Structures are given as structure tokens and as C-alpha cells.
Structure 1
Amino acid sequence: MISEFRSRFRFRHLRQGLVGSALALLVVLEGLNAPHPAMAAATMVSGILCLAAVTVPERLFARYALGAAVVSCVLTGMEARLSERPPNTPGMVELGALLLLSTRAVRRCPPLRAAGLVAVSSGAAVVLPLRIELWDDHLKELISVIAVCAVPFMVVVGVCLRLYDTLREREREAIRQAQRLEHARELHDFVAHHVTAIVAQTKAARFTAAAGHTQSPEDLDRMLAQIERAGSQALGSMRAMVTSLRDHATASATPRPTGDPAGPLGPLGLRDLRALTEEFSEVGPVAELILAPELADRPLPPGIATTVHRVVQESLTNVRKHATGVGRVEVRVGVRPGDREGLEVSVVDDGRGGASPAAERSVEGGGYGLVGLAERVEEVNGHLTAGPRDGGGWHVLAVLPLDKTVTEETIACDHA
């Protein structure tokens, strides 16, 4: 890839060098049309300066453009007073370069600076035909065409290019913002999930030790093994995310880390929910998965299946982090009653006293878990609600579309 980029870079510079050399040669030939060597040399210098001003970097453009336009105007004024002048061409390459200076000034410079540069370069372009020897009606017509048609046209081209650059930059920023939000959600979904498991297991070990209970070597080894596994999963998720950021093509071909039911970029399915709830139950309250039988043989679009996994994962993470007195968590995934093309994902816990203050803050915007989850659900045209339920506990409900046509189209694209 690097060698290909270098070859393109060299080809572009070679092409620009050839075009620049051809234009410089034309400037020299036009300069030779002057009747005196001094006038020919001055015409060549003025034309080369105008061409150079078109191609200089942005930080040098304003001073080079102003200098080239001033030199062109001074040369035109001096030649207009001479008795012997070029018989047929005032320097058409220089004229085109001056018009391009106006276009580039409008496209790249701030408004006030652009207005000044356009005035100077356009003025130089309009008076340039005065270098010709014969002043007649055709000369007046040429000046009129440059002033009335060529200059406004090049200014309009510069305005259009400026608007195009603005729209393209906004589009790029929107893409970058969407990528940042996606990476932030991925980091929260996976890394925070595993780190929360580590914290919960560590708290359980400290609580047991503080209560004075003596742990057997087997229990201690099992607890440390669970912490080690959660840490390895968090490290694997981070590694997959870093790989994605460095090279998306490589990351898409990288297998999931061992022990991680669904890597940050890997395909997810409803079967992964079983491993998710079993892992949760090992170090916390019992999580029961109830999967509707009609979904067992019904394929889901990858985006919907991934969103279901995220909803369950974030809900279980919040239970582990915020809920108190939870004895059982029910995870239910099924077709929405009365709507065969709607999918419901429900996660309910039986904690006492409703939601904890931390959970309340996360819903109101103090946290990013449910905020990112709501964004993810809305991306697939779904709807998410979360809040305390009557009798205590917390309820997260996501309603997702389950359109048959979309499902079949997605599967066909995947097989293709």
C-alpha cells in the first residue's frame, strides 16, 4: 500500500512538472514575440511569476499572488506607453494565470483578503491586452469580454469550489463523528462489561475476607480464575478495537479473542446470549434467558442480532454496577405481541427499592451506557425505554423491527 501511494505521488508530481514545463515554454515563446530583448525578458518574468503564484502553498499564496499581479500591472503600464509593442499577443498564458489567481483566492482565502486579491488580479487581467501594438475596436471588445465574462465566471467558479469544499469537510466531520461515537459505544459495551465483572468479583472477594470467612484454596483459585478470564477478555476486546482503528481490513479478518462471546467487530447472534447470561450468573445473581421458540429457526439481520446482544449486555452490566438486592434477572427475547414483524428485548431484575441513584443518573445523561444504547437502537429504527418498575427493580425494553424483506435482503448480501 505504501509503495502504491509513493508511485501515485511520483506520477502526480511528474504530471504537474510536465504541465508546468509546457506552460513555461509557452510563456517563453510569447515573450519572444516582443520587439526588444528587455521587453521579452520582462514579459517572461511576469508570466513565470503568475504561473508560480498559482501553484505555491497556501501559506505563501497571498503574497505571491499580490506580487505577481502588481508586477503584471506595472509591466502593462510601462508597455502601454511604448511606441513598439508586441504585434499579436499580450501574454495569454499570463492572462489565464491571473484569472486562476482570482479563482483560488475566492476558494481558499478569507472573504476580505479574497476580495482584495480578486480586485488586483482581475484588474491586471483586464488591462493586460493594452500591451498589444494596435488599439482598435477588437481590442476594446477583448477587454470587455475579459471584464464582463471571464472575470465574473472565474469568481463564480471559485465560489462553487469553496461551497463544495465546505460541504465535503462537513461530510468528513460527520463521518468522523459517527466513527467516534461507534468506537465509544464499542469500548463501553465490551471493555466496561469485562471491567465491571472484575470489579464485582474483587468486591466479592474483599467482602468475604472482611466477614472473616476462610476461603478454601479451590474457592480462591476459582475466583482468581474468573478475574483473570475477565481481564483477558477486556484485553482481547481492546486489542481488537486497536486493530480496527489501525487497519479495518485486518480487523475484519481477525478472529474473536478466546473467551469473548462476541468481539467488538465480530458477527453476533442470538446464540451468544446464552454464553452472556451464563457468564453473568457465575459471579452475580441468576440470569435466566427466555428465547421465543419461533426465533430459533428465523434468521435475523446482522444489525438486529448485534443490537439485541448489546441491549442484553448493557442491561446486565448496569445490574452488576448499580442494582442492589437482586436475586434474579430475566432476559426475554421474543416476537412482539400483535406484531409479527416486531421484536422485543426485555431485561428485568427484582432489585429492592427501584433503581439506585447511579442508575438514575445514567438515564438522565450522567452516564454513557444507556445513551449509547439508545443511539444504537435508533440506528436500526428501534425504540428503547428504561426505568424502575412497580414493586422494585429495573426494566429495560427495546422494540426492534423484524421485517421479513429486510432480513432476506441482508442474508442475500452476506452470502454474496
Structure 2
Amino acid sequence: MTIFSVTAPAQTIFGRDSRLGAAAHVARMGARILLVSGRSVPWVETFEAELRAAGLAVERIFSTGEPSLGDVRAGVSAARAFGAECVVAVGGGASIDLGKAIAGLTGSKGDPEQYLELGPTPARSLTDPLPFIAMPTTSGTGAEATRNAVISVPERQLKISLRDPRLVPVLAIVDPALTDALPKALTLATGLDAITQLIESYLCNRANPVTDALCRDTLPEAIAALRCLMEGPSHTARDTMARASYLSGLALASSGLGVVHGLASVIGGRGGAHGAICGRLLADALKVNREAAVRAGQPTRRFDEVEAWLREGLGGTVSGPERLRAFIDRHGLPTLNDLHLSERDFAAVAQEALGASSTKANPVALSVDDIARILHGAARSK
């Protein structure tokens, strides 16, 4: 049997209203808490008051979108000046990635840039990170279960992952109630991110028995739940998507992804929203990957399983990828042009994505032309 390893938070608490006991858990991690959050989750104010009532010193940092290298520098500087003993992030994937990067880098000397793979000089190794607690408010990235933080470097139009097994949160508190008020567009984009992560983890060349079990059990329900949430509110569907997002993080951290995320890392550097990019590319990536697998004489059973899950979960008689395309178009997912990618850049983006770390885990080797075909196919929109 192939050797594999599994990465997961030291503790996970999952369930509706599980956030209500969060302050007591945080108090066991330290007395000086750096709290990272977005500005759109009213409960965070209550949470901060609970932390202070427990006698903890709290410093607040606001996340304003996907974290840039400048945001990370500012956050690390604030954490060092405050003497933070623990970092807690409440928010979407961007807030969690910012908190994760701050926790990882605060105890490490020098500039955060020295710890990123940005050039020929090897990245420095982290000193022991601060304890990090993640509380997601979206169901998409699974960042509460992963060992990497995605950081943008705008001047280079790049997104780089800070990676280290010690970046995995010591505690993930996943309360689906924190996602109940998400608007439809964000629910769609983040949900497609989680589904893409599960699909790519299942298909990738590093899949293992644990990730197989996670993905097989989760994908059919997640696809149906996202369809349900596009039709109206449902606590049951929200719970399913929160669980799917968390498990997608476990899966990708323990296996890998594929060309969709390879492309998303390049396109996202131009400013497009990650989940929407993944959702827009997924149907054509499945089609091109299956064709490449047939050419290479590789089995297609897993592609056929994914196709059936999409077709059954989204309804209809056409193929799963085509059903997915119709679904995202009907519900207004942004086009590639909306996501800051024009057709004249397809060739350059395809070439860059070929060398992306996620693409290395793709289930079958693709050429630049294959990747360009994904982009041209995804550019079709009704």
C-alpha cells in the first residue's frame, strides 16, 4: 500500500451553536489574544466581550479581503508589539488565512517575505507558531483544517502559500449558524470552492484511503445541499455545506488538488475571487482531464463517479459537467472576464499554471494546450 499521512486540527468542535462555548476554549490557550476578523459578522463583538469578561487581554485586527504580504507584515508587527500568546480568527477563508499567517510568523525573526517561496533563495523555516484557533463563517475554503495560508503579492500578480504542518489550527470550531446569513452569491462561490476541493482531492494522483472515504461520503450530499441553498434557506443544507467545507480542507491537506486550483492560483493573483474562479473552471477541467486520461490509457472510473454525483445532485439528464455549467450560469456566477481574465491572456496563464504546485497533483499530465482548452471552454457563458 502507498504510504500516506493525514493532517488535521488537534481538536475540532462541530455543530450548530458550538461557538457559544468558544471563549472558555480560548482562555486555555493564553491570556493575550489577537483576534482577527472581518467586519460583517455581528457575533464577533459579543465574542470579544466574552473574552474580555473572562479576564483576557484582546487586540483586534480586521481583515479586509484576501491577505496581501503587506497585511501579513502589519499583522505580525501588531502581534509582536502586543505580546500575543494566541491568535483567533473568525471569518471566511481570507480572515482565517491572515490569522494563520500571523500565528505562524509572529515568533519567527525577520521579514515575512523571507518565509515565502518567491525566488531562487529557499524560504526560511518557521520558528514554533503561536497557538491558532479558527472559526469559519463561510463554507468554502476549509482553511480551518489546512496547513497553508494563501498570501497575495500584488506587485508580482501572485498568490503564494505559506506552508508548514504546524500551521494547522490547534482548534477548529465550526458552527454552521455563523453561515446562515451569507448572501446567495457568496454561498454559491464558496460552496463551489468546497465542492471543487473535494472533487480534486478525490481525483488527484495523491489520493489515499482516508481522503477517498471523506470525499465519497461528502460529495453527493454537498452538491445537493448547494442546489438546495440556491432555491431557498435551509439550516440542514447549511450544516451539510459547513461539514463539506471542513472535510474538503482535511482532504486537500492530506492529498492534493489539481489543475483547477493551479489555474486559480494564477488567475486569483489578478484580483478574481477564488471560489468563483474554481466554480467557473470546474466543468471544463473535468472534461479535459477525462479526455487526457483516455488518451493516456488511464482508468476513468473516478471521473465517471464524479459525473454521476454532479448529474444526480444538480438534477437533469445531460452530463454532469454540462449540468454544472448550466447551474452556475443560471445562478449568476461571474464569468472569467468578470474575474479579470481576458482571452488574450489565456496562453500565458496556461503556461504559468502548468508549473503551479496544485497542478503537480492533477490526476493526469496535461499540456499547455490542454490547460488553454479548459480556459476557452470555461469562457463560454450563457
Smaller-chain TM-score range? under 0.3
Bigger share in helix: 1
Higher relative contact order (CA 8 A, sep 6+): 2
Q: TM-score, normalised by structure 2?
A: 0.27
